[in-house]
Amino acid sequence: MLELFFEFWRLNDPNVVWVLTGSVLLGSSAGAIGCFAFLRKRSLTGDALAHAALPGVTTAFLLFHSRDPLVLGAGALVSCFIGYFVIEHLIKRTIVKEDSAFAIVLSLFFAVGIFQLTRIQKTGIASQAGLDKMLFGQAAGMVRDDVKILGAVALGLLLFVILSFRQLKSISFDRQFSQTTGLPVAFFEMLLALSLVLSVVIGLQLVGVVLMAAVLLTPAAAARYWTNNLAAMVLISGIFGGLAGAFGANVSYLAPRMPTGPWMVMGVSAVFLISLLFAPDRGLLARIKRQNRLSRKVHEENILRTMYKIGENAGDFSIPVDTGTLLSYRNMALQQMEAALRRLRRKGLVEISEGRFTLTASGLERAKEVTRFHRLWELYLSKRIQIAPDHVHDEAEEIEHILTPDLEALLLQELGSPIEDPHGRVIPKAAAAEGEHK
């Protein structure tokens, strides 16, 4: 097995080179084009169009009795286009919903294709062998000429994406705006559809009808986790698609019985899974981590503010409080509270002695700050937005953790350095400001 693996990557076998080139080019061009379908929330277009290609292939075969990829490709192109226009028509001109339009075209076109395929098989026309490979794809069945056509089309598609990137970007994000700027939107939508159709057609032999959807969709979905920039997304998606192509070709070489398409899809799905979990910023783990960090911060700040309130009521911030007292002021799970107190102690904001807690000097400053944010916001809501004072607390409860010193300065200016919040409690001043006052 390992021996074969190295044999593959030594690239001595010219067949390997052809198949590898074809798979990589197909994967990367479909990955790049797929991004635009993805952004327009038409990810399943690829699925519908790939199925719609089948009757074109079989009709072309029945008409010309030829397996020439150009003939079959032309047939596929025509029926894909018909399928595309039927979908557009159903969505735009009838009450049929988008998802139904896809499913209708997919199942009906495919049924016509299968109907003809079974007729071809029954009549036993000699050259039909291999036509059914279109369903699942077989890289081993590809010859040099197939790969040449595939490669030329794939390169053309990549060139198209690069050259008309600006226009494609514009119609993907804001169709109406593009129209007002005088961009021929309908024309570029047609070109985009044509390139989707073309990548489906060249993918048929390699990946097959059923899984072409994944080659168009999954790299784009994976790339989306890594970036917010369209150019970067198209690039990453193209690379992911190319990698998946190489993987599929490799497996197909190691185990010739294996169809290429499914392995290509497994490859790109693995990349998707990794992106979903580990991508920085948008990935699942990064988001969970961020959420946890935020909720820890919220717990800590809530405790600080509660301790400030207790001290304020008593008129003395140095009286130690226990968790029972804290709990009577703030509804919170005891475990969460204890964990938050431990973190506060590590940060030197809280001191502990005999199970009772006091704010340190820096803890008091921090508590004052949070309280100030809270009360300033309450005041702002009731003064400027004129929400009744008894309704402002919950809003402030959320905003106090997010306010920044810059916003605080703006609020202070806006409200004219106020003394009291709407409930008549003193808004604590920052240490520097306090000094100024005296």
Partner 1 sequence: MIESEIWILIIASLVAISCASIGVFLVLRKMSMLGDAISHSVLFGIAAAFLLTSSRSTAVMLIGAGAVGLLTAYLASALNRYGKLQEDASIGVTFTWLFALGVILISAFADRVDLDQECVLYGEIAFAPLDTIEILGKDAGPRAVWMLGFVTLANLIFILMGYRNLKAISFDPVLASSLGINVALWHYLLMSFVSLTTVASFESVGAILVVAMLVVPANTAYLFARSLVGMLSWAIFLALLSAVTGFFLASYFEASISAAMAMMSGVFFVIALLSYHLKALKSVRPMSFPSAVR
Give the residues lining the site for partner 1 (CB under 8 A): 38, 41-44, 46-47, 93-100, 102-104, 106-108, 110-119, 122, 132, 135-136, 210-211, 213-214, 217-218, 220-221, 224, 257-259, 261-263, 265-266, 269, 272, 276, 282, 284, 287
Beta carbon nearer to partner 1, 225 or 380: 225
Least distance from partner 1 to the Cβ atom of residue 1, Å: 14
Beta carbon nearer to partner 1, 136 or 329: 136
Q: Determine contact, residues 260/138, Cβ cutoff 8 Å.
A: yes
Neighbouring-strand partners of residue 321: 357
Least distance from partner 1 to the Cβ atom of residue 159, Å: 26
Q: Determine contact, residues 389/378, Cβ cutoff 8 Å.
A: yes
Q: Determine contact, residues 387/381, Cβ cutoff 8 Å.
A: yes
Least distance from partner 1 to the Cβ atom of residue 35, Å: 11
Least distance from partner 1 to the Cβ atom of residue 101, Å: 9
Beta carbon nearer to partner 1, 94 or 313: 94
Q: What is the DSSP letter of 421?
A: -
Least distance from partner 1 to the Cβ atom of residue 28, Å: 18
Beta carbon nearer to partner 1, 272 or 308: 272
Q: Determine contact, residues 249/23, Cβ cutoff 8 Å.
A: yes
Q: What is the DSSP letter of 345?
A: H
Least distance from partner 1 to the Cβ atom of residue 5, Å: 17
Q: Is the dihedral of CA 160, 162, 164, 169 positive or negative?
A: positive
Structure tokens at 302: 């809530």
Least distance from partner 1 to the Cβ atom of residue 268, Å: 9
Angle of helix 165-173 relative to helix 144-163, nearest 10 degrees? 70
Q: How far is CA 373 from CA 7, 182, 192, 395, in A?
A: 67, 48, 51, 12
**CA 317/CA 308 separation, integer angstroms:** 7
Neighbouring-strand partners of residue 353: 356
Beta carbon nearer to partner 1, 265 or 427: 265
Q: At a CB cut-off of 8 Å and minimum separation 6, what does 88 contact?
A: none
Beta carbon nearer to partner 1, 81 or 110: 110
Beta carbon nearer to partner 1, 47 or 301: 47
Beta carbon nearer to partner 1, 275 or 382: 275
Least distance from partner 1 to the Cβ atom of residue 271, Å: 11
Measuring CA to CA, which residue among 246, 224, 276 is closest to residue 36?
224
Q: Determine contact, residues 323/337, Cβ cutoff 8 Å.
A: yes
